Structure 1
Amino acid sequence: MSQAFDNKRIAKNTILLYFRMIFLLAISLFTSRIILQSLGIEDYGIYNVVGGVVAMFAFLNNAMAGATQRFFSFDMSSDDEKVLNITFSTSLIIHLIIAFIIVILSETIGLWFLYEKMVIPIERRDAAMWVFQCSILVMFVNIISVPYNAAIIAHEKMGVFAYISLLEAALKLMIVYFLYISPFDKLKIYAILLLVVSLIIRFVYSSYSNRHFEETHFHWVWNTNKIKEMGMFASWSLIGNLALMGVTQGLNMLLNVFFGPAVNAARGIAIQVQGAVQQFANNLQTAINPQITKSYASNDLAYMHSLICKGAKFSFFMVFLLSLPFLVMTDQTLVLWLKTPPAYAANFLKIILIVSMIDSLSNPLNNAVNASGKIRSYQMTNGLLMLMVLPVSYLALKVDLNPSLVFICQLTMTACALFFKLLFAKRRTQLSLGLYVRKVLAPVILVAIISPILPYFLYIHMEHNVKSLVVTGILCLFSTSIVIYLLGLEKSERALIISKLISLAHKIHL
C-alpha cells in the first residue's frame, strides 16, 4: 500500500512538473528567437560567455546543493522537525558563506579573466561589465535560495513549481517586450531585467517555504557535527561539480578563446534546446529522487532498484521523444525557429542531444549513490574522468580548429562515465547489472535504433519546407511512441497505460 501510494504521488508530481515544463518550453522557444534578433549574434554570444565566467565558480554551490537535497530527503524519514530545522539552518549558513566566496572569486579571478583572456570587442566591454555584475548578483540570490527549494522538493510539493512558473513565464514575456521597445543598450537592459526576475522568483519560493514548512524558519545554530557531516559529503561532491564546471563553462571559455563570441552564440542556442529537452527528464527525476533517498534510508532496496530502472528508462524515452525531430531535421528546424541560426549551431545541437540521452540514463544512478552517503571514490572517479574533457578538447583544437571536436570529446567521456556509475551503483546499493541491462539498456537501445528509420526515410525523400517539417515531426512522435509501447515497455506497464486511457475515455464520454 505504501509503495502504491508513493507511485501515485510520483505520477502526480511528474504530471504537475510536465505541465510546468511544457508551458515554459513554449515561452522559451518564443522568447529566445526575439532575444537573439534583438541582441544580435555577437551580443547574444557575449551574454552567454560572460555569464559563464560567474557560473564557472558555481561548482562550489552545486556541491553543497546536492548535499542539502540529500540530507533533507534523508532526514524526512525521521519525521523530526527539530532535526530538519538544524539541517535547514546549517545549510543556509553554509550557503551564505559559499555565496560570499563566489562573489570574491568572481570580482577577482573572474574579473581578471574577463579583461585579460576573453575575446570581446572593445566597444562592448562596458556592456559586458554590466552583464558580469548582474550575473554575480543573480548567482548570489540563487545560492541562498537552495535550502528553501530543497525543502519544497523533499516535501514533494511539485505543484508549487508549476504555479510559480506561470509568474516566471509572464515576467519573461515582459522582458521580451521591454527589450523590444527599449531605446537603451539592449544587452545591459537584458542583464538587468533577468536580475529583477530572479529576485522576484526567489522571493516567492522562500516566502512559500517559510509559510508552509516550520523547519525553514531560520535559527542561528552552529552544529559542528552537522556541518562536518554535510561538509564532508559536499567536499567529495565538489570534485564531480568541478568536472561539471569544466565540461560546461570551461568548454565555453575554450570556444571563446579559440573562436570568439559568435561560436559561443551557437553553443548558447544548442544548450538552450538541450536544457528544454533535458528538463522533461529532470522533472521525472525530481519527482523520483526523494523516494530513492527515502527508500534507501528505510532499507527498501528492492523498491529503490525499481525506481532507479524506471527512472532511467522513462527519462531516456522522454529525452529521445523530444530530441528525435531535432536530430532528423536539425538545419530546417533551426532556420524555421531562428531564421538565421549561428554557424555550427546544428552540429553542436546534434551531439549535445546525444549527450543528454546518456545523461538521462545515469542521473538516477547518481542519486542512488548519493543516497548511500559513500561517495568519495565515486566522485573522484567520475570527476577525474569528466575533467579530462577540457585538456583533451584543448589538444584536439590545437590539432584541428573544428569547434565540434569539444562536444565529441564530451560525448565520449560521458559514455565512459555511465559505465563507471553502474559499477559504483552495484557496489553501493547492490543494484544488479543484469537487472539494469534487461530493464533499461536493452529496451532503450531497441527504441533508439528502430524509431528513427521511418521518419528519416520520409524526410530524405520529401521536399524540405514547412509542410515536410510538420509531417516529419508528427511522424517522429508517432513512430517513437509506437516503438516505445511495443518494445520499450513491460507487459504490466502497457496494461497500466491501457487502463488509464480507458478510464480517461469513460470520463470524457460521461
Structure 2
Amino acid sequence: MADTLANNKRIAKNTLMLYFRMILLLIISLYTSRVILRELGVDDYGIYNVVGGIIVILSFLNNAMASATQRFLNVEMGRKDQMAVNKIFTTSQHIYFGVALCLLVIAETAGLWFLNNYMNIPDGRLEAANWVYQFSIISAIFGIFTVSYNAVIISHEKMSAFAYISIIEAVLKLLVTFAVIWAPFDKLIFYAALIMLIGMINCGVYVYYGFRHFEECRHFTIKTDRPMMKQMLSFSGWTVFGNLGYILHTQGIAIVINMFFTVAVNAAQGIANQVNGIVTQFANNFLVALNPQVVKTYAAGELNQMHNLIIRGCKMAFCLIAFFVIPLVLEAPTMLKVWLGIVPEYAVVFMRLVLLISLINSFSSLLAASKGATGNIKNYQITLTLIGALHLPFAWLAFELGGSPEYSMYVYLVIVIVLQALRIWFVCRSINLSITRYNREVLVKCAAVLMVSSAVPVTMHIMLEQSILTTLSVVTISVIGVGLSTFFIGLTSTERNAVLKPILSRFKNK
C-alpha cells in the first residue's frame, strides 16, 4: 500500500512537472509557428514539412530502438539490476551507431534520388529543398544519439530534467524565429540550418546531463555484449515493423499528397499536425510519467496494480485530449485565423479530422507500452502494421479517382477505429485484463463524457453566428463541460475522493 501511494505521488509530481513544461512550450510554439509561416510563406513552409518528412521515414529504425531501449531499461530498473542497466545502455549506443550509419547511406542515395526526381517542388526551390534535406539528415543523426540518454532520464523518472532540457530547446527555437526575420540569405535555408544547430546543442545537453547523473552513462565500453544486442534487436525487430507502419502513415501520406497536389497542401497538413502534436502532448505528458510505472509493475508481477494504472491512464488520456479536441474541432476556422493570420487551404478540414483521429487513438500509447512490457509483440505488431499500412494504397486510390486531399484522413479514420479495437483485444488477452471490465470502465465512461460534454457546445456552434465571442463561449462551455463530466462520470467514487482529499485538507489546514 505504501509503495502504491509513493508511486501515485511520483506519477502526480512528474505529471505536474511535464505540464509546466508543456504550457511554456505551447506558448512558444504558437508564436513561432505564426512567425515562421509568415516569414517563409505557405510554399516554403510546405517544402520544409514534406522534405523533413523523408528523413523521418528513413529514421524509422531509430524510433523502434527508442521504444525497445525504454522497455529494457524499465524492466531492469524494476528488478533493481544496475549491471544489466549498464549493459543495456552500452548496447543501445552501439546499435544507434549502426542506425545512424544506415540512415546516412540510405538518405544520401535513395532518399536524395527520390527528392530530386519525384517530389513536387515549386520552380526555383529545388536547390533550397536540397539544403533543407541535408540539414535534416544531420539533425536526425544527432537526434539518434540523443535517444538513449532521453530513455535513461525517463526511466529514472527525472521529469524535471526532461522538462528543463525541452524548455531550453524551445527557447532556442524562439530565438531562431527572431533570427529568421533578419535572415542574411534565403530564409528557408537559414531556418533549416539553425534548427540543425539546435539539434546538435540539444544532443550535447542530454549527453552532459546523463554523464553527470547516471552510472550507466559513465560505463560506456567499446566491447559489444552480443547476447544483449541480440535480445534487444529481436524485440525491436517487431517494433521496427510497427514503427515503419506508423511513420508511413504520418509522413508517407504527406509525400503521397505532395505527388498529387502541391506543397501548399503540405503546409496545411503541417499546420494541422502541429496543432495535433500540441494537443496530444498534454495527454502524452501524463503517459510519459505513467508508462515506466506500468512496465515496472509488470516486471514485479503486480498485475492488479498494472490493470488499475492502465484503466485510469486510458480514461485520463482520453479526457485530457477531449478538453482541447471539442472546442478546436468546432471553432477551427476562427481559431486558425486568429492564430496564423494566413490560413492555408484545407488546414481547417485537416485539423478537424486529425484531432478526431487522435481522440479515438488516445489510448494507444499506454496500451502499446503495456503490450511491450510483456515482450510478446510479434503477432500484435504484424496485425496492426499490416492493417495500418492499408492507409497509403487506399488514399492513393482515392486520389486517383479524383478525391480531394482530406479523403486520406477519412480513410485513416476508419482504419484507426479498427486498429483501436484490435489493440484493446491483444493487450487485454496478454495481461489477463478482462475486456468486459476495460470496455465498462474505459470505453463506456469515455463515450459518456464525450456525449455529455459536447452536447451544449455543439448546439451553440450550430445556433450562433461565427465570431470571436461565439468561439470564446464555446471554448468556455466545452472546458467546463469536460471537467465536470470527467469528474462525475469518468471517475469512480474512490478516484473522486482521491482528487478532493488533498484539496479539502488544505482548506482545513487554513
TM-score by length of 1: 0.98
In structure 2, how many angstroms separate the alpha carbons of the residues matched to 1:178 and 1:474? Answer: 36
After TM superposition, list the pairs within 5 Å mapping 1:293-332 onto structure 2: 293-332=295-334
**Aligned residue type for 1:308:** I
In structure 2, how many angstroms separate the alpha carbons of the residues matched to 1:484 and 1:78? Answer: 35
- SS of the residue aligned with 2:111? helix
Corresponding residue number in structure 2 for 1:268: 270
**Aligned residue type for 1:449:** M
**Aligned residue type for 1:401:** G
Answer yes or no: is 1:237 the counterpart of 2:239: yes
1:486 maps to which of 488, 495, 501: 488
8 Å contact from structure 2 (residues 154, 162) kept in 1: no
After TM superposition, list the pairs within 5 Å mapping 1:85-484 onto structure 2: 85-217=86-218, 218-484=220-486
8 Å contact from structure 2 (residues 145, 203) kept in 1: no
8 Å contact from structure 2 (residues 153, 159) kept in 1: yes
Corresponding residue number in structure 2 for 1:18: 19
Per the TM alignment, residue 213 of structure 1 is displaced from its structure 2 partner at its CA by 0.2
Give the direction of change, closer, same or farther, for the CA distance of 1:221–1:358 in structure 2 (3 Å limit). farther
**Aligned residue type for 1:297:** A
Per the TM alignment, residue 400 of structure 1 is displaced from its structure 2 partner at its CA by 2.7
Per the TM alignment, residue 456 of structure 1 is displaced from its structure 2 partner at its CA by 2.2
* CA offset digits 1:240-269 (Å, max 9, x no partner): 111011101110000000001010000000
Q: Unaligned stretches of 5+ in structure 1?
A: none
Per the TM alignment, residue 505 of structure 1 is displaced from its structure 2 partner at its CA by 4.5
In structure 2, how many angstroms separate the alpha carbons of the residues matched to 1:443 and 1:314? Answer: 11
**Aligned residue type for 1:59:** F
- Cα RMSD over matched residues? 1.2
8 Å contact from structure 2 (residues 295, 369) kept in 1: yes
In structure 1, how many angstroms separate the alpha carbons of the residues matched to 2:341 and 2:359? Answer: 27
Bigger drift between 50-59 and 72-81 goes to 72-81
- SS of the residue aligned with 2:59? helix
Per the TM alignment, residue 431 of structure 1 is displaced from its structure 2 partner at its CA by 1.4
Per the TM alignment, residue 359 of structure 1 is displaced from its structure 2 partner at its CA by 1.8
In structure 2, how many angstroms separate the alpha carbons of the residues matched to 1:73 and 1:36? Answer: 40
Bigger drift between 490-499 and 97-106 goes to 490-499
Per the TM alignment, residue 224 of structure 1 is displaced from its structure 2 partner at its CA by 1.3
**Aligned residue type for 2:425:** L
* CA offset digits 1:282-337 (Å, max 9, x no partner): 11111111111111111111111111111111001111111111111111111111
* CA offset digits 1:30-65 (Å, max 9, x no partner): 110011000000000000000011111111111111
Per the TM alignment, residue 506 of structure 1 is displaced from its structure 2 partner at its CA by 5.6
8 Å contact from structure 2 (residues 79, 299) kept in 1: no
In structure 1, how many angstroms separate the alpha carbons of the residues matched to 2:363 and 2:69? Answer: 23
**Aligned residue type for 1:432:** S
**Aligned residue type for 2:215:** E
Answer yes or no: is 1:65 the counterpart of 2:51: no
* CA offset digits 1:203-262 (Å, max 9, x no partner): 111211110001112112311110110010011111111101110111000000000101
**Aligned residue type for 1:208:** Y
Per the TM alignment, residue 78 of structure 1 is displaced from its structure 2 partner at its CA by 2.6
**Aligned residue type for 1:55:** V
**Aligned residue type for 1:35:** I
8 Å contact from structure 1 (residues 308, 364) kept in 2: yes
Corresponding residue number in structure 1 for 2:48: 47
Per the TM alignment, residue 346 of structure 1 is displaced from its structure 2 partner at its CA by 0.7
When the two structures are aligned, how many residues end up with a matched partner?
A: 508
In structure 1, how many angstroms separate the alpha carbons of the residues matched to 2:381 and 2:126? Answer: 38
**Aligned residue type for 2:212:** R
Per the TM alignment, residue 168 of structure 1 is displaced from its structure 2 partner at its CA by 1.9
Per the TM alignment, residue 363 of structure 1 is displaced from its structure 2 partner at its CA by 1.8
Give the direction of change, closer, same or farther, for the CA distance of 1:25–1:388 in structure 2 (3 Å limit). same
- SS of the residue aligned with 1:348? helix
8 Å contact from structure 2 (residues 257, 266) kept in 1: yes
Bigger drift between 420-429 and 8-17 goes to 420-429
- SS of the residue aligned with 2:120? coil
Per the TM alignment, residue 169 of structure 1 is displaced from its structure 2 partner at its CA by 2.4
8 Å contact from structure 2 (residues 454, 478) kept in 1: yes
Per the TM alignment, residue 450 of structure 1 is displaced from its structure 2 partner at its CA by 1.6
**Aligned residue type for 2:331:** M
* CA offset digits 1:413-459 (Å, max 9, x no partner): 11111111112112211111011112110110011112111122223
Give the share of equivalent positions with the same residue, in percent: 40
Greater than 6 Å deviation, 4+ residue runs: none
8 Å contact from structure 2 (residues 76, 82) kept in 1: no
- SS of the residue aligned with 1:132? helix
8 Å contact from structure 1 (residues 118, 256) kept in 2: yes
* CA offset digits 1:377-408 (Å, max 9, x no partner): 11101111101111111111111331111111
8 Å contact from structure 1 (residues 86, 221) kept in 2: no
TM-score by length of 2: 0.98
- SS of the residue aligned with 1:122? coil
In structure 1, how many angstroms separate the alpha carbons of the residues matched to 2:189 and 2:48? Answer: 10
8 Å contact from structure 1 (residues 239, 384) kept in 2: no
In structure 1, how many angstroms separate the alpha carbons of the residues matched to 2:215 and 2:355? Answer: 41
Per the TM alignment, residue 488 of structure 1 is displaced from its structure 2 partner at its CA by 1.2
**Aligned residue type for 2:139:** V
Q: Unaligned stretches of 5+ in structure 2?
A: none
In structure 2, how many angstroms separate the alpha carbons of the residues matched to 1:80 and 1:461? Answer: 61
